[in-house]
A and B are shown apart, each in its own frame.
Chain A
């Protein structure tokens, strides 16, 4: 297991290096740079040109890449031209928000999705199952940004139950109990908006998994042995039908950590998705590059995580 993990991590490095080279090269092919958005007739072109020279934006991409890599090994991830502060500060400010949001959403997805899928599979073709399946079809068909807006409109503005934007109420001392509660309160709507749509895949996979498994021979055998019905479902069937979901768990977390652009926009939630999009359209490559690498790392880590989880659940995978 350990060997497997280490080997996987070692493969990661060449992948990341390749990724960073690609990103740098493609970035340099894009028209414009971080200063081209600042077009202003009061600023002489020479001043902008000077600034470009200063920032090294005129160098060919491989020189820029070399400088960037050297600086990175010294712990310097560069400075965002657009945000006027170190890249790590910019990302750090958003990262925790995104982590909390994705954590909440993930917990909700599995907390709601697993029971729904189990019930739906266990009592398939009953009224309950039809309702749940109907909901999942609806969920597949509903765009997340519409759903987010509807939730915001109903629970935020009409019923006034939850705050309508931001990650924390203004003016609360960080670290206090009130602060934590306010943070959680602000997370409820966006994380439900993500989870209620995001769980449909889980429910569907689990439902078909359960239906398929419960006709298998070993289940018939278990029943014949006299294993109780709840034990059949909770131990034998659940464990077998969870496999595809476990396989996706790592990716799911990674996708959420990437940030949900629509939800962040609608709830004015300062997370990473929006930061990523903005840094590309403003050509703020110092931020975009670090983010892409970070995402790349996450994707690899997510795949690894999925494999590890799978091998824990499914003993067959552990065989070398």
Chain B
């Protein structure tokens, strides 16, 4: 008897299962690959204000089919142009699968989630224009005196910390003194803005009690003297932030990051002040009436951390008004969401294929570029490999068009520096075959793969990182493409490699890597020396030519303070890199961000723009 309803029951339970699975189809994708930590999908580098390691789950699943998007069709600023009501609370969702650390000070934080939180209640003193050049619209002004290699910084009147204390130039100087201090518990303070400052290196080494290059003139003004005026100084070199000296009175520098002044009652100068913090989860901020630019348009901001697996739902139900760090790969699934406007902007990063062209010379501390000894040393071979890759198809098929074929090593993110006129090899397998034929790569033993010009078998080992659903098909796609032009490419170790191991192998010039796929994110300064200079370990291809080094050095020399000159130098360098191909930029990227229709005056990662400054954000009704 009892057996009779079994089939029915099973049918119903199966039905429920099917419905349940279908219902969450949109959101479960990212949650299935937690195992592969998101920092694993790429390497982040940053500068000044951009912070480390934005959670990039962008390498996980975009569907293979579906619509193709172009970031240029999106707004970067919300289209709702109603007047803000002047009240209301903005609910900001921070999409992150880890709680924020809670080191809430620009001078001390490490992780990107913290940076996003701090940005809501504090702000940089200096503003930047579209070319990433410092401007004088912020709370502090600067003036370069080329005659004596000095810069005069002046605080504007009427700027106060949230506790009512006036912001003085001493707070800015204090930031240098803390970051440069031998006890400072971090690795900031190695950029030009610090190291070029006179007396800084002595202070950092503990040989001097103060930085001799800083002269405080009065409460508002100080003069900083530099050993040389490099162009990087005015494009992100000067330190961006002040640090409230009175707030940290009596706190040892080594303990600052864990002090209650940082974690429980952080202080800023921004339009909103911190009211309460639930560690790792949420921050409630209220309007700071005395904000120096004018009265903020909201009663307050409530920020909470939302899991990437449910952030789309939180947007849809209106629980949050905007989602910072929204996982771009989810966009195609939720593009039609009602009541939400999607903004998109360029991301300052690129994916690339690198070639090992030498080794790191530990003793001399510089690369040992030796193309004639390395497998990938032949330019023709590299050029053929570039011709063999169809990166526009990769962008469309794997990323729905939100990534697309890259051209030069200075990305369109640096719009004014990127040269889009430079011709780069296009997808053309026949051309690739022709180049290889001409260069003498023939299949002499008839195994279907080409041998090198000396007739030796050519086996190319390709290293690629694990992480996300796309990593494997993408790596296979490239291997397939290269095999089609007769090159025997295979995965290093036969599988994808975990993030830490991958960079460990790269750094140590492991012989099992001939070519690799990596990614860099770029900072505000366009100077590529930190990645491709001859004496930097991050020059993973181990590439060095006199011409390239000279161009990069010229690009950051005092002569290049003139923007036109600097642009020409970098144009030349970009062209040279396309010519030499130590690495091939494969994909440029865009990111999207959903914003509720009721939000006004909000923009996505726009550099200085009076209209979309945080104090202008508001809601319409």
Contacts and interface: CB of A to CB of B under 8 A. Distances in A.
Nearest to B20: A150
B13 interface: yes
Interface string A131-170: 1001000100110011001101100110010001111101
A281 B110 CA distance: 16
Interface stretch (A36-44, A241-249, A285-293): A36-44
A130 B187 contact: no
A130 B282 CA distance: 45
A32 B31 contact: no
A84 B13 contact: no
B465 to A, nearest CB: 13
Nearest to B504: A31
A113 B293 CA distance: 60
Given A134-B13, A150-B24, A167-B278, A84 B52 contact: no
B194 to A, nearest CB: 10
Given A32-B501, A145-B28, A170-B276, A37 B53 contact: yes
A85 B257 contact: yes
B264 to A, nearest CB: 11
Contacts of A138: 13, 17
A170 B304 contact: yes
A282 B281 CA distance: 20
Most chain A CB within a 10 A radius of its CB, from B20, B283, B523: B20
A42 B98 CA distance: 26
Interface string B15-49: 00100110110011001101001011001111100
Contacts of A39: 43-45, 503, 538
Contact of B10 (A32, A35, A134, A278): A134
Contacts of A141: 17
Given A150-B20, A164-B313, A281-B40, A89 B190 contact: no
A161 to B, nearest CB: 12
A281 B278 contact: no
Most chain B CB within a 10 A radius of its CB, from A94, A145, A167, A171: A171
Interface in A235-277: 261-262, 265-268, 270, 274, 277
A166 B34 CA distance: 18
Interface string A181-204: 000000000000000000000000
Interface residues of A, number: 66
Interface string B506-538: 000000000000001001000001110000111
Contact of B32 (A145, A171, A274, A278): A145
B185 interface: yes
A145 B419 CA distance: 46
A127 interface: yes
Contact of A41 (B9, B10, B45, B500): B45
Contacts of A170: 276, 278, 281-284, 302, 304
Contacts of B23: 150, 153
Contact of B37 (A38, A262, A281): A281
B530 A261 contact: no
Given A145-B28, A170-B278, A268 B307 contact: yes
Interface of A: 30-32, 35-45, 47-48, 51, 82-86, 89, 93-94, 125-127, 129-131, 134, 138, 141-142, 145-146, 149-150, 152-153, 156-157, 160, 164-168, 170-173, 261-262, 265-268, 270, 274, 277-278, 281-283
Given A150-B20, A157-B313, 6 more contacts: A36-B503, A48-B187, A85-B258, A127-B2, A171-B282, A274-B97
Interface of B: 2, 5-6, 9-10, 13, 17, 20-21, 23-24, 27-28, 31-32, 34, 37, 39-40, 43-47, 52-53, 97-99, 101, 103, 108, 110-111, 185-187, 190-191, 257-258, 263, 275-276, 278-284, 302, 304-307, 309-310, 313-314, 316-317, 319, 499-501, 503-505, 520, 523, 529-531, 536-538
Closest 4 CB pairs of A and B: A41-B530, A32-B500, A170-B282, A31-B504
